[in-house]
Amino acid sequence: MNTDDSKEIFIQYWWEKAQESLASAHREFSASSYMFAMNRIYYAAFYAVSAALFSRGISFKKHSAVRSAFHSEFVKSGKLSANWGKYYDQLFRDRQEGDYIPLVDFNELYVSTQLKPGEQFLATIEPLIKDYLES
């Protein structure tokens, strides 16, 4: 296996995790598990961004580094709208609060307003990954 093959495998791996996480978010939402749905929406975005960054030879272990690179590589460069940067930042904050601050909870209305943009976020990231996979 050459380096390009292994790179493609990793990109595909992160992309599939993104899709699985979004599907999980929908299941958690349907089960009224809003905290877990928010967590899965964030991870769907995180894995999608990780795949897109990896397609450019960029990877990190820390969520904050992935977030920073997302802004540098895609938002500030103009490849993606600043609105997607704001959306990812909000998901990042929600995940931090949900995972680390006691008694934080997310309600049905809020989570429902985050699910559709989560789908759109993945749809926006997908061409960035496909550009690499098809070249």
Q: What is the CATH superfamily name and number for domain 3-134?
A: Nucleotidyltransferases  domain 2 (1.20.120.330)
The CA distance from 31 to 39, in Å, is: 14
- Averaged pLDDT score across all residues of the chain: 94
pTM for this model (two decimals): 0.93
Quote the pLDDT of residue 78. Answer: 96
Q: Which has the minimum average pLDDT: 39-43, 60-64, 119-123, 131-135? A: 131-135
Quote the pLDDT of residue 6. Answer: 86
**64: burial class by Cβ within 10 Å (0-12, 13-18, 19+)?**
exposed
